[in-house]
Structure 1
Amino acid sequence: MPLPPSLLAEQDYITRSEFSERVSTVQQDVKTLEHQMIELRSMQNAQGEQLTQILENQRTQTEMLRKQGNLRSMFITGFSGFGGGFAAALIYMVLTYFHNGGHF
């Protein structure tokens, strides 16, 4: 059973100066840690924004490369078709030339 407050000895109360110094030191340390946590959070937010920007740039470059790949394929297909048409026309002209006895 605890003693009533009036019966406690003077030394049982926490009124010593060492304790108040320790408390103020601990409070200062807590404030320092809070400030450091705020700085870390702001740095993490900034790094997160930079990462988001990097990923967005990468997506844009990937899309651009895909479009260029499609453009390249389109040119290859187009020129292949043009070359095939040119070859067909040339063969037609040669066959017509020989079929008509050397006259167009």
Structure 2
Amino acid sequence: MALDTESTNKIQCSHNGCGQLLHSYYYEEHVALHRLELDSALRIGDKKPEHEMAFCPYNACHVVPQAELEKHTATCPDKRRYLMIHSFLTSSRSATATPTYPPPSLPTSF
């Protein structure tokens, strides 16, 4: 069985039923586009809402009243998945950085 390296570096988008497989370095930009789409839909749909609305930091599809945002972020069902993806992205970036281990000792006499 061959290892499919093409799909190992990909994350599936769950916003708005999108379901696209994206490379990990494109995921944050893709989520930002979903946020823009949702923001424009909210602006067009309702010019004067009863409550000031806020976006959940873990899922762009969660739009809650500003007063309930703190409670929602504490109990958001997507929080665990977001933190797992975020830790994966930050660890993969640091893995490609210059290593900090000491250089090998070279012989001084030949």
Q: Looking at secondary structure, tell me which structure has more helix per residue.
A: 1
Larger radius of gyration: 1
Same fold by TM-score greater than 0.5: no
The normalised TM-score by structure 2 is 0.26
Q: Which has the higher contact order (CA 8 A, sep 6+)?
A: 2
